Each structure stands twice: as C-alpha cells, then as structure tokens.
Amino acid sequence: MLTKFETSSNQVRGLSFHPKRPWILSSLHTGAIQLWDYRMATLIDTFEEHDGPVRGVHFHISQPLFVSGGDDYKIKVWNYKTHKCLFTLLGHLDYIRTVQFHHECPWIVSASDDQTIRIWNWQSRTCVSVLAGHNHYVMCASFHPKEDLLVSASLDQTVRVWDIAPLRKNKTPPADDDDIMGLTQMNSDATVKYVLEGHDRGVNWAAFHPTLPLIVSGADDRKVKLWRTNVSDECFLIKNIKKNCRNSSNVSSVMFHAKHDLIVSNSEDKSIRVWDATKRTEIKTFRRENDRFWILAAHPETNLLAAGHDGGLILGINNFATLKSMLLDLFSASQSYLPAFSSSPVLASYFTHCKLQPPHLRLALFGAMGVCYRARNLATAYNFAKRLLETNPTESQAKTARQIVQAAGRNMTDATELNYDFRNPFETSVRSVILQSLARRHLEYDEKTDVVNDDDNGEKV
C-alpha cells in the first residue's frame, strides 16, 4: 500500500515519523514544515519560521517536540502541541543538512556545510561539542540507536564514526545570558574512532544498523557500501552493494530496515531500490517518471517507509517479508477520491474500529463512505454511513450520510468484492488502502506527556 501526498513545494528534503502517533513530518524546500496524519492523508499543521529551505527535521522520542534545521543556519526546537518555536540554536555558519534528537540524553546533533558537526543540549540550550575533521560539506550525522557513537558522511569522500562517550560525563550548567551560542561551554571531548575511505566521490548518507555492527553508506559515485566493525575494533568494507550501472545516478539516501535484513536506497535517477543485506543483492526497484528522490525515512517499529521527492511525499506500508506490492502508486492526494479503488478494493479496519479520536474517526468514515459510494460499492458505503451516524457527526456530515443511507439502501450490493467484514473488521489483508480525506482541517490532539523545558566544491542543492 502506498499513499502519496502532493504539496505545493517542488522538493521534500526532510522526513521524520512520530514514534507513537500516526504522524509524519516533512520539511520542504519552500521553508515550510508540514505535519501529516498518514492514516488519513490529512494535513494537520504547518510550521513556518525558517528563512529558506528546511533540510532536516526530527521528532523527539517522548516529548511533544520536534527539531528542524535549515539553510538560514538556524536550528529550531518546536512544541507541536502549542504550535510554537520554543527557541533557536545559533552557531553554524552554513546550511544545516540534518538534525536528530538523541534517544536518551537531552542532545541534538546537527550536520552542516560549514564542515562541522555540533552536539547541543536542548535543555540548557547550549552547544556542548563541535566535531571538526571533515574538509567538505557534512551531508548527514546521526546517533547510534544504542551505543555512544555517531556517524557522519561528507563530500570529502569519507564516513567518520565518532566516540561521544566522554560527553556523558560532562555536566553542562545553564548558559550565560550573553552567551547565546553557548560557546563558553563547548568542548571537543568527542573523538574520531574510524575514518572509512572507499568512495570515489562525495558521500551523501551513512547510517548505523539498529542492532548489528554494520554501517551503510551511499555516495555520488553511484555506490552503496556496507561496512563492518570487527572484534579487533577495526571497521572495514564488506562489499559494494550497488556498483556503477547504466541509467543510475548519485545515491542521496540509504538506510537499514528496522525489522528485516534489508537495505533501502534512493537515487537522483528517480528510483528507490531494496537490497538483501545478507546476500548483497537487489530485490526490488521502484521508479517515478519525473521526480528525483532526496530522502528516506522508516518507522522504527512498523513496516512503514516514506520517501521525499521533487513533487512531494510518498508513503507506503509494505509487507517487507515477501515484498509483495512494493510501493504501488495508487492515488494522488490532489484528487477527490481513489481512482484505483476498484482495482485495489481493500479497506483499513481502523476506519471503523480502531482507537481514533472522534474527529479523526468521523473524518475517516466520511471519506471512506464517499469513496465507496462513487465506486458503486453501495453496501459498504451504506455500512460506513450508518457507522458515521453513530458518532455524533457534524450537520453537514450527517446530511450526506443520511442521503447515502437512503440511496444505497435501495441496492445493497458492491460493484467490487471487498476484503472487509464489518462483523469481524480486523480480518483484513496485509494490504491496506488509506483513503484520502475529503476535507483539510486542523485537528486538536491530546498528548499524555508534557515538555520538560517549555520556554519560549560541489554546488549546493
């Protein structure tokens, strides 16, 4: 299953899944940051304070926060509950490529075209370390999911692994009022552990394996490389997974799948490729006609993959175990209903029975009801309409639902056999179709947790 969000931007450069809620952040070349509910393809909110493209964005694992970094050299920390930018971190001297929260410590890591990586304490709002060593743009930097390590990729053709364990021992007091960049408390205790050399051109991305001592990297030499750390504390190249091939192009992003032995890469040749990490062979390729892919993101717990491209965002839920129906381009969010519905007639069970909040449930039912009625699946449309009327809908929703009940009730048949049973709604196929909401509105969400500190030489592309 795949959902495509179309935005007014010509490029999506950053993506981040919320760890618990069905949300995804997309940062755009226009400077906007969009928050989507991917179960209903609904735009929830838009955040606009950056001056220029926003290339990096990331949700906090437990707080109602996200961080963004842009071409205005600024890192902003936001509270999505209050729709406010809490504060701005200053210090980088060029474009900021990626930002990420640490899973445990109150840290943010940022990578910049000023050839440095910075680690910030977002609670004290200070820069606690500057990692220097790359001699070209640093295209990405990310924390290891469990260990005190950090990996970075640069256009200097290297991947570096940094030991950041000494930073845990430092107690960082609040910054002075006149030290807005936290420069007086900066240190360089983090050290380079490995320098991985092997790419022939600039490296655009590097990522840790979630559990194994592996690193994957992708570069402008059109190659994906797999690296391993051995018991003698050395890091070495296992294999070039992607070699030079006709019609291929720069690899802009690459990552391990969280649950399966798979590697996913995307390229400026308008393709996404899935590789077997064990056999080092290509399994599947998905291509687009007109748009280059720039960024990938995967949900940490589910088979959910998102890719940002020139025209917007593609999001797919896939059966990675069998790789069936990998990234099928089902519909455009610019249209009012699902044109491929009759050929892919599978409904998501949560539309009627999952724990959606009432506004979400009504919106989902209303959209599903309309899609089914237009596709002449009248029996299913009737059932959705009846269910909607039980949820205290708005006057407009109730009026439409009553009209569909009256019209569909005369001919309780479906033009297409559906893999959906209202009496046993969770017995559905592994494939799902997320129906586009017919209304775009801002929705209020409850949040169980509160923020801890709730104050206010290549061409760049």
125 and 195, same domain (yes or no): yes
Is residue 180 assigned to a domain? yes
312 and 364, same domain (yes or no): no
Question: In this predicted structure, what is the pLDDT of residue 278?
Answer: 83
The CATH number of the domain holding residue 208 is: 2.130.10.10
Question: In this predicted structure, what is the pLDDT of residue 345?
Answer: 35
Summarize the confidence of residues 424-445 as an average pLDDT.
31
Is residue 448 assigned to a domain? no
Measured from the Cβ of residue 66, the count of other Cβ atoms closer than 10 Å reads 24
344 and 313, same domain (yes or no): no
Pairing of strands 149-154, 312-317: unpaired
- The residue segments making up the domain with residue 161 are 2-317
Q: What is the pTM of this model?
A: 0.69
386 and 422, same domain (yes or no): yes
Question: In this predicted structure, what is the pLDDT of residue 178?
Answer: 45
255 and 150, same domain (yes or no): yes
Quickly state the pLDDT bin for 12 (edges 50, 70, 90): confident
285 and 356, same domain (yes or no): no
pLDDT over 60 (residue 298): yes
Quickly state the pLDDT bin for 315 (edges 50, 70, 90): low
44 and 83, same domain (yes or no): yes
Residue 367: name the closest of 456, 435, 268 by CA: 435
258 and 138, same domain (yes or no): yes
Alpha carbon distance 388, 391 (integer Å) = 5
pLDDT over 60 (residue 66): yes
Q: For the chain, how many structural domains are there in total?
A: 2
Q: Choose the weakest-confidence range: 150-164, 356-370, 391-405.
A: 356-370
311 and 359, same domain (yes or no): no
Question: In this predicted structure, what is the pLDDT of residue 93?
Answer: 96
Summarize the confidence of residues 390-417 as an average pLDDT.
88
Is residue 451 assigned to a domain? no
Summarize the confidence of residues 311-331 as an average pLDDT.
39
Is residue 350 assigned to a domain? yes
Please state at what angle helix 358-374 crosses helix 395-408, rounded to 10 degrees.
Answer: 40
**What is 358-425 written as a DSSP string?**
HHHHHHHHHHHHHHHHHTTBHHHHHHHHHHHHTT---HHHHHHHHHHHHHHTTS--BSS--S--TTST
Is residue 247 assigned to a domain? yes
272 and 355, same domain (yes or no): no
77 and 154, same domain (yes or no): yes
Is residue 454 assigned to a domain? no
Question: In this predicted structure, what is the pLDDT of residue 453?
Answer: 40
Is residue 191 assigned to a domain? yes
Alpha carbon distance 83, 244 (integer Å) = 45
249 and 357, same domain (yes or no): no
Q: Choose the weakest-confidence range: 120-124, 370-374, 385-389, 396-400.
A: 370-374
pLDDT over 80 (residue 123): yes
Question: In this predicted structure, what is the pLDDT of residue 55?
Answer: 94
pLDDT over 60 (residue 144): yes
Summarize the confidence of residues 359-367 as an average pLDDT.
75
Question: In this predicted structure, what is the pLDDT of residue 242?
Answer: 56
Is residue 228 assigned to a domain? yes
What is the token pair recorded at 64? 């109602």
Quickly state the pLDDT bin for 228 (edges 50, 70, 90): confident
Residue 314: name the closest of 335, 337, 330 by CA: 330
If one compares 418 and 302, the residue with the highest pLDDT of the two is: 302
- Tell me what the pLDDT averaged over the chain comes to: 75
Q: Choose the weakest-confidence range: 309-323, 391-405, 427-441.
A: 427-441
